[in-house]
Structure 1
């Protein structure tokens, strides 16, 4: 029983070390706060992929009663530790992503055009920002053919398990 408790404590200590290191990258003033706009990047760097709505809920949980535009480390650490322990907001597996692209590729041609992908990313579901679209297209589009061979692109989208 003591071994299990020690293992759990070691896991929590390891998670909290990772959270602390990720937070410190964005704590530019070194005052245990980060800009609220950086929290999504921190959360995603820790292998979590919340939707914008889920991220908003996370921020509401750690934001002060009087929003300052900053998140304090002492509020972020316990919330993020629980998220990681509960394995919330896990990345979508590669096979599910591939099936999603296949659904969008109605003619079963094995690729999407840059225009098709842009349309799906900005008009369907939770729309991507222009910056997110440009970042994805820069990584995904074959410049010679102006298409996205999604079977090659999907593995690049999958986060490795920590």
Structure 2
């Protein structure tokens, strides 16, 4: 029984360290607060992939009653500890991502054009912003062929996930 408790405490301690380290990267004033706009980046750096709606729910939970534009570490830590312990917002597995691209590639060519991907990503689901599209395309487009070889891109995305 005591051994199980020690394991649980060690696990929580490790999670707290990960959260603290990620938060501290954006705590530019060293005052245990970060700009609210950085929270999504911090959460994603911890291996979580919440939707925009889920991110707004997290913010609603950790923001002060009167939003200040900043998030306090003492409010962030318990919420993120719970998220990580419950393994919420896990990344989509590589095979599922590949299937999604294959559905979009109706002609079964093995690639999508930047225009096709931009159309899908800006019109379906949670639309990407122009900045998000440009960032994604800069990583996804094969510079020689000017297409997205999605099997390679999916593998790259999966490898880079924490």
Global fold match (TM > 0.5): yes
Q: Please, which runs of 5 or more residues in structure 2 have no aligned partner?
A: none
Q: Does 1:108 align with 2:145?
A: no
Q: Runs of 4 or more off by more than 4 Å in structure 1?
A: 159-162
Residue 91 of structure 1 contacts residue 159 of structure 1 at CA under 8 Å; is this kept in 2? no
Please list, as runs of the form range in 1=range in 2, the aligned pairs for 1:130-145 lying within 5 A after superposition: 130-145=130-145
Matched residues in 1 for 2:95 and 2:61: separation? Answer: 33
Matched residues in 2 for 1:161 and 1:115: separation? Answer: 26
Give CA-to-partner distance per residue, 1:87-128, whole Å, 9 cap, x none.
000000000000000000011110000100011111111011
Aligned to 1:126: 126
Secondary structure of residue in 1 paired with 2:65 = coil
Secondary structure of residue in 2 paired with 1:102 = helix
How many residue pairs get aligned? The number is: 162
Aligned to 1:33: 33
Residue 110 of structure 1 contacts residue 150 of structure 1 at CA under 8 Å; is this kept in 2? yes
Q: Does 1:90 align with 2:90?
A: yes
Aligned to 1:14: 14
Q: Please, which runs of 5 or more residues in structure 1 have no aligned partner?
A: none
Matched residues in 2 for 1:35 and 1:65: separation? Answer: 16
* Residues 9, 161 of structure 1: alpha-carbon distance in 2 compared, 3 angstrom cutoff: farther
Secondary structure of residue in 2 paired with 1:34 = strand
Matched residues in 1 for 2:11 and 2:161: separation? Answer: 15
